[in-house]
A and B are shown apart, each in its own frame.
Chain A
Amino acid sequence: MTPNDEPGAVVSDADLPSAAPRLDTGWTIRWIRLSADVLAANRAALNTLDRDIGDGDHGENMDRGFQAILPKLDGLDDETTPGSVLKIVATTLISTVGGAAGPLYGTAFLKAAGAVGTTQSLDATALVALLTAARDGIVLRGKAAEGDKTMVDAWTPAVNAASAAQTAGSPVGAVLLAAADAAAQGAQATEPLVARKGRASYLGERAIGHRDPGSQSTSLLLRAAADVMAQH
């Protein structure tokens, strides 16, 4: 790891005890690796959610995409930053996932990579910027609004909760946990909704009672991010 050359991150991390979590390149890589494991374990469950209101391949597509990332995380050099890892994730998802989820998650990770720049370790401000950019990228690409029963319904509560925690002065770990909790609640809250975007929108009221699969995969990804942080 090269020395931290990002002034903001140095200051905030210096205030923390040595045991405090660092959202650095190692964390980013572990986050993506755990995400691949979690998505593989939830492949069938996500397929089932998608079969109820879509075309039944969301788990399949996400699993294929994240498995394709894994070999690219081996043997990264010392120049690697969280942003460059996120960019690898973005380009791999765009080229392997297909369907609607590929461009949406690909754009999310691409915008997130841009938001964190060359930072070596994310402080609370950088984490909120990452989440916000990811969400904005999804909205830009998919043109969905909150309440349309899409992954935006997990991302937007996560961004809002993270932002509130950061504004209140919470450390980066608490900000990430707030985001993961809010995403989980947001995913659950898609169940009573009628879909206004994607293939589920053709079902009208028949979509009611089913959780949006994209909101669920978003919740899984953010939970993995928080779990990895808690392990270190």
Chain B
Amino acid sequence: MLSVGKFVWAKHPKESVASPSEWLFMKKLINDPKNVVNEAVAGFEVAHADIVRVSHDPVFIVRADAPLRGKVGIVSGGGSGHEPLHGGFVGFGMLDAAVPGPVFTSPTPDPILAATQAVDGGAGVLHIVKNYTGDVLNFETAADLAAAEGIDVRAVIINDDVAVKDSLYTAGRRGVAGTVLVEKITGAAAERGDDLDAVLAVAEKVNSRVRSMGVALTPCVVPHAGEPSFTLADDEIEIGIGIHGEPGRERIKLEPADAIVDRLLGPILDDLPFASGDEALLFVNGMGGTPQIELYIVFRRAAEVLTERGITVTRSLVGNYTTSLEMAGASISVLKLDDELTALWDAPVQTSALRWGR
């Protein structure tokens, strides 16, 4: 690793982690880095057999009652390590299938295609894709293959992260925790019987009205890499982090929680922009290594700022929903609500990670 002070990628992590003696220094509850995803999915299958079924080759998680005749199928996926995203959101009123890739690496088109086929009830399938190049390209390729088999597939690309400049000169804004809100609300629209065009319109509407930004207090260790993907000094934090530890806007010294919240909320509120009189869903998301007690301290200040700006928080969500393994940190997402989105948010949902009204 290189020095601290600037954001630095790992320079010489191990080429491979061949024997346990080489990776046991990682304090993780794992058996073998190669089997992390397979073993986690196997546990998930047994724990939530009332809600989901699991395909192991290729790997995808599908609603126990899929495919539902006449209902638009909703499929999401991406690299593992963000749990409960996406498998934890498979079930009534949300996703029909989730496709977990290797840790922090997009799944290939084969499992995405298989999941798409498994949930196609004749009304078409919507792919919900976070805006990362690998995810977008693999989902696009899978959509082409599904279309060749006569399945009507559309995609919504989630890009709620205001930390990244959206311009011709980058791959565009990243899809982060706002994805959870898109999946819940879009899933409710599909569950009530909307057709594919209407479901896609709801997904795009949510994506257009949600903005997010996050902070990292510590890095995370990808099991097959064996070392942190970046370094932070004991007194440093990274503002505007992505969900794989990619760099954000700036690296600063640790500050009190309220000051950090203000740094995250400012760009979020200015971007849409949110205005006095708006109603909003406020979502404080943990990155995996930060306890609930700190997330509520963040929520308290964020709600205070919104109130000062004349924005009414009418719905809320607090917890670890889009994580980066054991990274400490949090993200804030604000969604501008209207009557339709509020009703769809309130609609019944029964997944392993979100459940109400049923």
Contacts and interface: CB of A to CB of B under 8 A. Distances in A.
Interface of A: 44, 47, 51-53, 55-57, 94-100, 102-104, 106-107, 141-142, 194, 196-199, 201-203, 206
Contact of A196 (B13, B141, B169): B169
Interface in B102-134: 102, 104-110, 132-134
A44 to B, nearest CB: 6
Contacts of B242: 202
Interface in B188-221: none
B244 interface: yes
Contacts of A55: 104-105, 229, 244
B247 A202 contact: yes
B104 A107 contact: no
B138 A102 contact: yes
B344 interface: no
Interface string B217-248: 00000000100010000000000001010110
B168 interface: yes
B108 A97 contact: yes
B9 A98 contact: no
A107 B141 contact: yes
Instruction: Kindly state the interface size class of chain B when it binds its partner.
Output: 20 to 34
Contact of B141 (A53, A106, A198, A202): A106
Considering residues A51, A96, A98, A107, which has the most beta carbons from chain B within 10 angstroms of its beta carbon?
A: A98
B170 interface: yes
Interface in B126-173: 132-134, 137-138, 140-141, 164, 168-171
Nearest to B8: A206
Contacts of A51: 9-11, 13
A98 B141 contact: no
Contacts of A206: 7, 247
A202 B225 contact: no
B101 interface: yes
Nearest to B168: A196
B109 A95 contact: yes
B15 interface: yes
Contacts of A201: 169-171
A141 B171 contact: no
12 contacts: A51-B11, A51-B13, A55-B244, A94-B109, A94-B141, A95-B110, A98-B101, A99-B106, A103-B109, A106-B141, A199-B133, A202-B174
B167 to A, nearest CB: 9
Given A47-B15, A104-B137, A199 B108 contact: no
A98 B108 contact: yes
Contacts of B133: 100, 142, 197-199
Nearest to B139: A103
A152 to B, nearest CB: 13
